[in-house]
């Protein structure tokens, strides 16, 4: 096999080939689940679940993995990214508002022998209010519900790496959430679709276009 873009990042040992194969299979299954969901649910009425390009998120996860790191996916939907994080060695958790999707994620984790944990609830801590200051900065498609951190067993400050896939205009809220409740040394991975993955620490972008950087390495 040719050297794979997702197997090797600076300062990290290459990934085990079997693990990489499993991760790619999970991406594939994730897309199949998403396609069925799109037909069954989204063609009937709006639903905020849109699947990430999982293969683009994977290199970013690989680039920030380290033993013992605790990972949280905001809006974990079918759990594909949280499960990949678990298999990469993170202690991995997901929060998702849609209870049916949480059930789907737990089933997928079991099927892949993953210990990823999922809570049904909101990614917004109790009492949080976003006061967007600029036009276009809003809660967008972020729904309301009981905060999920109690069920998760960890407040936001316990996480080393947090991942989110914001709809347009929601990035500011996610950055504000980390500023208000996250640890200042924690990493925030925002999947900004066409703009790739951006990694923040303490509110500053530390590696723009991580996916592109890794591909070019
Ligand atoms: C754009 S999708 C991202 C799915 C997945 N994280 C990915 O990257 O493929 C956003 C997800 O967030 C969920 N969601 C919306 N509001 C939420 C909230 N307040 N708390 C937790 N999840 C929420 C939606 O149901 C949806 O599954």
Segment 159-166 shows an average pLDDT of: 97
Ligand 1 atom with the shortest distance to the CA of 51: 9
* Separation of first and last alpha carbons in the chain: 17
pLDDT confidence tier of residue 5, bands split at 50, 70 and 90: very low
How far apart, in whole angstroms, are the C-alpha atoms of residue 132 and residue 123? 17
Long-range contacts of residues 126-134, Cβ cutoff 8 Å, at least 24 apart: 128/177, 128/180, 128/181, 130/172, 130/173, 130/176, 130/177, 132/172, 132/173, 134/172
Give the mutation target among 97, 118, 122, 163 for probing the ligand 1 site: most ligand atoms within 8 A of CB.
97
- Ligand 1 centroid to Cα of residue 2, in Å, is 35
Question: Residue 194's pLDDT is what?
Answer: 74
Q: How far is CA 172 from CA 92, 136, 179, 186, in A?
A: 24, 9, 10, 17
Question: Residue 11's pLDDT is what?
Answer: 57
- Ligand 1 centroid to Cα of residue 122, in Å, is 9
Task: Report all structural domains of the chain as residue ranges with CATH numbers, in order of start.
Answer: 17-216 (3.40.50.150)
Q: How far is CA 205 from CA 118, 201, 202, in A?
A: 28, 7, 8
- Ligand 1 centroid to Cα of residue 104, in Å, is 14
Instruction: List pLDDT tens digits, range 42-66.
Output: 988 999 999 999 999 999 999 999 9
- Ligand 1 centroid to Cα of residue 96, in Å, is 6
Instruction: List pLDDT tens digits, range 172-202.
Output: 999 999 999 999 999 999 998 777 899 999 9
Dihedral (CA of 87, 212, 48, 150) sign: positive
Question: Residue 208's pLDDT is what?
Answer: 52
Q: Which residues contact 47 (CB under 8 A, 6 or more apart)?
A: 37, 41, 98
How far apart, in whole angstroms, are the C-alpha atoms of residue 120 and residue 111? 19
Place of tokens 């998120």: 57
Asked if the model's pLDDT at residue 7 lies above 50, the reply is no
How far apart, in whole angstroms, are the C-alpha atoms of residue 203 and residue 185? 10
**Residues in contact with ligand 1 (CB, 6 Å cut-off):** 48-52, 73, 75-77, 81, 95-98, 101, 122-124, 142-143, 165, 191
- Ligand 1 centroid to Cα of residue 143, in Å, is 9
Backbone angles phi, psi at 200, to 5 degrees: -115, 145
Residue closest by Cα to atom 14 of ligand 1: 75
- Ligand 1 centroid to Cα of residue 5, in Å, is 27
Residue 198 pairs in a beta bridge with 190
Q: Which residues contact 203 (CB under 8 A, 6 or more apart)?
A: 175, 178, 179
């Amino acid at each position: 096999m040719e050297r794979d873009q997702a197997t090797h990042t600076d300062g990290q040992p290459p990934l085990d080939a079997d693990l990489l194969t499993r991760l790619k299979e999970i991406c594939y299954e994730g897309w199949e689940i998403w396609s069925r969901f799109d037909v069954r649910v989204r063609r009937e009425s709006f639903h905020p679940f849109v699947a990430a390009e999982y293969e683009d998120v994977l290199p970013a996860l690989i680039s920030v993995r380290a033993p013992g790191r605790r990972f949280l996916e905001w809006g974990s939907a079918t759990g594909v990214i949280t499960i990949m994080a678990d298999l990469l060695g993170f202690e991995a958790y997901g929060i998702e508002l849609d209870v049916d999707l949480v059930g789907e994620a737990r089933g997928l984790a079991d099927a892949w022998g993953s210990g990823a944990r999922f809570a049904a609830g909101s990614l917004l801590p109790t009492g949080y209010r976003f006061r967007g200051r600029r036009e276009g900065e809003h809660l967008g498609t972020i729904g309301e519900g009981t905060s999920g951190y109690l069920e998760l067993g960890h407040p936001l400050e316990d996480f080393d790496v947090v991942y989110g896939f914001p709809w347009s205009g929601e990035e500011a809220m996610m950055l504000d959430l980390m500023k208000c409740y996250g640890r200042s040394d924690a990493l925030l991975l925002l999947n900004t679709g066409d703009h790739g993955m951006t990694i923040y620490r303490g509110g500053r972008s530390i590696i723009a276009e991580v996916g592109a950087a890794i591909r070019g390495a």
